[in-house]
Amino acid sequence: MMRLPEVRVHVPASLAEAVALHSRHPGALYLAGGTDLIPNLKHRLYDTSDLISLSRILPVGVAVADGEVSLGAGSLLVDLIEDPALRTHLPALAEALALVAGPLHRNRATLGGNVMLDTRCLYYNQTPAWRAALGHCLKKDGDFCHVIGSGKRCVAARANDSAPLLMALDAQLDFLTAAGPLVVPIRRLYAIDGRFPGHCHTPPSALLTGIRVPAPRGLRRATYRKVRRRAAIDFPQLGVAVALEQDEVGRTASLVVVLGALMPEPRLVKQLDFALGRGLDDTVIDRVAAVAAEQAHPQESIHGSSDWRKEVTAVETRRALHSLRVPIGR
Ligand SMILES: Cc1cc2nc3c(=O)[nH]c(=O)nc-3n(C[C@H](O)[C@H](O)[C@H](O)COP(=O)(O)OP(=O)(O)OC[C@H]3O[C@@H](n4cnc5c(N)ncnc54)[C@H](O)[C@@H]3O)c2cc1C
Ligand code: SF4
């Protein structure tokens, strides 16, 4: 049986007190639903002796105002999945959250914890004995990456299902830090190095309080497709998020494709301008899928070979676009 290390759990009464506690205990970690943090502590992945509980202090729920959908970082995934406002305004996000882990996790897990999730790796998310037997790695206690075969950087996977879609939808993140409030566009949150801490471009005290997404306008639609080994519970081996806006006759006004779970930073696919101002026919879809696969560089830090996940990137991008398109001149 894996046991928790000895930790002190601080229970602040307000967000400000939580951040102040972090300043007094700089190595402390915020504890939301604990569905990832607790197993990681049991695996001795963090050298902390202080947890700061976020229960009852984080904002929860969904509000729609001023052209934005605002989501409390403390909202439970199970509540968001069923939330009528979210299902009306951002159905793709509700559907993506329904694909996170298994039902018991979703009953406890928060959206904030999902956005701020640590990166994952086959050589890291293991017991201390397992890691010691192989030789420790750059992410914890070592100086070598078993995936890339050098000590340059950690390429553990950013395997949180909310990230690609929130990036495609251009979400803004509201943090409270020791220096005051901080707004970070999610497209600039994730670092290219997966080491913890440091995998997010935020100060260590940064407490995520809310997520704001522009409310859909016109014919904007979005979707998220997830590839995993077992549909009942597993992390993604690949996530493809697409946000598409077409005019009333089916011409593409904007198109964003984001690839997740391939490396520490979700990848915003570039050079898709050729798809704008025209219908999304099969030829365009095939070309977008080919560009996405070309720009995908899957690291073998999680299950599934790099070649296979690259091929599947094209397949899932194509499927996502087919599911969203309005035929030209409909
Ligand atoms: C078996 C298993 C399967 C899983 N499958 C998936 C999956 O398919 N997809 C997926 O996305 N996730 C998966 N997870 C991971 C996890 O369950 C979810 O990502 C969940 O949403 C995490 O939320 P939480 O509230 O439990 O976060 P916690 O575990 O409490 O925290 C996660 C991390 O975020 C930090 N944190 C939490 N809240 C905040 C905040 N408000 N501000 C700043 N930092 C914060 C914590 O310090 C910690 O580092 C899985 C986990 C397990 C154990
Ligand atoms: S990608 Fe490399 S450095 Fe990062 S956790 Fe895996 S083995 Fe360690």
Q: What is the pLDDT of residue 218?
A: 75
Task: Establish whether residue 161 lines the binding site of ligand 1, counting it when its CB lies within 6 angstroms of any ligand atom.
Answer: yes
Q: What is the pLDDT of residue 299?
A: 97
Task: Establish whether residue 35 lines the binding site of ligand 1, counting it when its CB lies within 6 angstroms of any ligand atom.
Answer: yes
Q: Residue 197, preceding bond cis, omega within 30 degrees?
A: yes
Which 8-state DSSP code applies to residue 202? S
Q: What is the pLDDT of residue 54?
A: 98
CATH topology of domain 62-116+157-214: 3.30.465
Residue for token digits 């999730």?
117
User: Is the pTM for the entire model greater than 0.75?
Assistant: yes
Q: How far apart are CA 83 and CA 88, in angstroms?
A: 9
pLDDT means over runs of 10, the chain (330 residues): 94 98 96 98 97 97 97 98 97 98 98 98 97 96 96 96 98 97 98 96 97 88 96 95 94 97 98 97 97 98 97 98 80
Distance 123 CA to ligand 2 centre (A): 6
Q: How far apart are CA 158 and CA 142, in angstroms?
A: 20
Q: How far apart are CA 320 and CA 13, in angstroms?
A: 43
Distance 208 CA to ligand 1 centre (A): 13
- What is the per-residue DSSP string for 118-153? PPB-TTTSS-HHHHHHH--BTTBB-S-BTTTTBSS-
Distance 160 CA to ligand 1 centre (A): 8
Q: What is the pLDDT of residue 116?
A: 98
CATH for the stretch 220-324: 3.30.390.50
Q: What's the token pair of residue 130?
A: 């397992």
- What is the per-residue DSSP string for 104-118? HHHHH-BHHHHHTPP
Can you give the residue ranges of every domain in the chain?
A: 62-116+157-214, 220-324
Q: What's the token pair of residue 266?
A: 């979700």
Distance 117 CA to ligand 1 centre (A): 5
- Are 183 and 175 in contact by the 8 Å Cβ rule? The answer is yes
Pocket perturbation via mutation, ligand 1, pick of 9, 117, 186, 195 by most ligand atoms within 8 A of CB? 117
Secondary structure of residue 95 in the 3-state scheme: helix
- Are 209 and 174 in contact by the 8 Å Cβ rule? The answer is yes
Secondary structure of residue 76 in the 3-state scheme: strand
Q: What is the pLDDT of residue 327?
A: 67
Secondary structure of residue 53 in the 3-state scheme: strand
Task: Establish whether residue 112 lines the binding site of ligand 1, counting it when its CB lies within 6 angstroms of any ligand atom.
Answer: yes
Residue for token digits 């329904």?
98
Q: What's the token pair of residue 37?
A: 């943090």
